[in-house]
Amino acid sequence: MERILFIVSQARRELYDSLRVVLGQERGVEVILDRRVVRHRRRHEAPSPMERRRYGRRARPLEDTEIETRGWTVVRLP
């Protein structure tokens, strides 16, 4: 059975609470707050010579953008 995960930004707590009430009893649906801490990094004028970060299975750029702009996203899990 497919699971549906609603991820809501910490800044949208009222939306999180509403979704928990409305979808709380739905089978296969989970509503969670985004637990990541957003820290703004200083930008350097020159780019670093080599990219050291590695993107793994958890990297979801589309969902990250949706959380930043809308305050929530939906992820379908197998």
User: Which pLDDT does position 34 carry in this prediction?
Assistant: 93
pLDDT tens sequence across 43-64: 556 666 665 555 555 667 889 8
Residue recorded with tokens 């699971």: 3
CB atoms within 10 A of CB 48: 8
| Cα–Cα dist 35/19, whole Å | 17
pLDDT tens sequence across 13-31: 999 999 999 999 999 999 9
Strand partners for 74: 6
| Cα–Cα dist 39/30, whole Å | 26
